[in-house]
Amino acid sequence: MACPDTVTTKNLSGKLRLNKALSDDIDETLKLQGVGYIKRTAIANFTLTLEPTQTTDDDGVEVVHVKQTLSGGFKAPADTLLLNGQEISKEDSLFGHLIAKSWRSKVEDLDIDFLKEGWSEDTLEDGLIAGVVKSDTAKSGRDWVINVVWGFVILEGVRRFARRFRFTTKERSGPIDVKLYYDYVE
């Protein structure tokens, strides 16, 4: 189902289910992040649903809370993004020790062309939710970086929530670019 026009990068809400048929495969990026075969197989066989809510804290900082559920009722780690551009350290049950930062960005302010392409007019106007997530190499022994953006696209005539990311690691000569598309459930 199409995302209603009232759901934007400034008003993320509802349930958004990953459309695997339209999305790129993420197995290689998960493997390079140190996710084991059994967990990767489970992820490939389940469908992820996001339930974002968006607020503004007392300091005027936009906050995006994302509840994540896998098909079958399995809970995935929830996430909270503070759109202030400040790095925070956190431990994720799937990816281990991470350093992350998030902010609102205009498309033209992005450095990576792949992340700039194909956004809806409202996303161009309101801005993308952008971020960098990287392994905390000192704690995890891993060395990877993900540059990610969230917004809305019109794909096959349907307005969809989308996430795009560029994954880089020293274990691979070039980046992996991934597009993920979501169906609006409610």
* pLDDT single digits (tens) 118-132: 999 999 999 999 999
Structure-derived torsion over alpha carbons of residues 39, 96, 61, 12, reported in degrees to the nearest 10 = 0
Considering the chain, what percentage of its residues have pLDDT values greater than 70?
100
> Does residue 45 have a pLDDT over 90?
no
pLDDT-based confidence at 27, cuts 50/70/90? very high
CA distance 110 to 104: 11
Q: Annotate 116-178 with DSSP letters as a single string.
A: GTT--HHHHHH-EEEEEEEE-HHHHS--EEEEEEEEEEEETTEEEEEEEEEEEETTSSS-EEE
Tens digits of residue pLDDT in 46-58 = 899 999 999 999 9
Tens digits of residue pLDDT in 103-115 = 999 999 999 999 9
Q: What is the mean pLDDT of residues 17-26?
A: 96
Q: Which of 70, 100, 120 is nearest to 165 (CA)?
A: 100
- Give the pLDDT of residue 71: 84
CA distance 182 to 166: 18
Q: Could you give phi then psi for residue 39, rounded to 5 degrees?
A: -65, -40
Distance of CA 112 to the CA centre of its chain: 16
Tens digits of residue pLDDT in 135-166 = 998 898 889 999 999 999 999 999 999 999 99
Domains for the chain: give ranges and CATH numbers.
Answer: 16-184 (2.40.128.20)
Round the average pLDDT of the chain to a whole number and report it.
93
Our CA angle for 174, 165, 46, nearest 5°, is 110
Contacts by residues 70-78 (CB-CB < 8 Å, ≥ 24 positions apart): 70/42, 70/43, 70/46, 71/46, 71/47, 72/46, 74/46, 76/48
Query: In terms of pLDDT, which residue wins out, 140 or 94?
Result: 140
